[in-house]
Amino acid sequence: MDRRLHALLLSAAVAAGNLAAPGAARAQDPVGATPGTPQVVEPRVARREVKAPAIDTENFEGGLFVGTISIEDFGSSLLYGARIAYHFTEDVFAEATLGSAKAGNTSYEDLSGSAQLLTDSERQYTYYDLALGWNALPGESFFGSRRAMPSAVYFTLGAGSTRFGGDDHFTVTLGSGYRLLVNDWLAGHLDVRNQMFDSDLLGKDKLTQNLQFSIGLTAFF
């Protein structure tokens, strides 16, 4: 009796093992699964049909600016130009600027009446500048109680060339600006720059400081 019971329990256990174990083993190793075998363990992760996103990356910023520049010894003039920037990170960007202005007269030229130190084409003040910028104060600007726009105060340090008085001058530019994002892709700028270069136009070699103030519009793309 005992022996028969043992045999029965043993065969039941083997049968149960045959039913349960291969399923469990095959669930972990689907390569060995034979077709038609019921899958005991369902994978919990549901597969989702998602296409790879093709979204716009907008790290470039380009636009135009207009303002006024005080060319040392030559008065203040209208300044206009274009700029393009590439944003490496949310903090750091590179910027290339082209600008142009027409210098006025020195006080000496105005007082003497007729003496002209520079020809008309030599009065053309054009420059390019390659700069690295840092968004030092990123944040939001609030207009009333319902509107907040992303903005940043940034500093730039650049090097480039200024053509003035018939000569190219190595120019170091220090700048600071305020960028206000009107919407996702359009930004307004307020900029102050100081362009420094050595000049011997008035006889003596000296470092000239040429301050400029400009407003601009840029688009991110």
Partner 1 sequence: MRRIIITACLLAVALHAAPAGAASAAAVTVQDPYLELHSGPGRGFPVTQVVDRGASVELLRQRTDWIKVRTGRDHEGWVNRRQLERTLTGDGEQVRLAGPTAEARTGHRWEASVGAGDFNGADVVTVAASYALNDSLYVRADVSQLFGEFSNGWLAAAGIGHIFMPQWRVSPFVGIGAGWVYVEPTATLVEAPSRSNQAAYAGAGLRGYFNNRFLLQAEYRQYLIFMDTNDNEVINAWTVGFTHFF
Interacting residues with partner 1 (CB under 8 A): 45, 47-59, 62-64, 80-82, 84, 86-90, 92, 94, 98, 100, 124, 126, 130, 132, 135, 138-140, 148, 150, 159-161, 165-170, 181, 184-186, 200-201, 219-221
Q: Which is nearer to partner 1, 98 or 211 (CB)?
A: 98
Nearest 5°: the CA angle 124, 125, 131 is: 155
Q: Which is nearer to partner 1, 27 or 117 (CB)?
A: 117
Q: Report, in Å, the least distance between residue 90 CB and partner 1.
A: 5
Determine the Cα–Cα distance for residues 211 and 196; give it in Å rounded to an integer.
9
Task: Compute and round to an integer the Cα radius of gyration of the chain.
Answer: 36
Determine the Cα–Cα distance for residues 209 and 206; give it in Å rounded to an integer.
10
Q: Which is nearer to partner 1, 110 or 200 (CB)?
A: 200
Q: Report, in Å, the least distance between residue 173 CB and partner 1.
A: 11
The label of the residue with tokens 């009446």 reads 113
Q: 119: which strand partners? A: none
Q: Report, in Å, the least distance between residue 125 CB and partner 1.
A: 10
Q: Which is nearer to partner 1, 25 or 148 (CB)?
A: 148
DSSP symbol at 52: P
Q: Among 159, 103, 107, which residue's Cα sits nearest to residue 126? A: 103
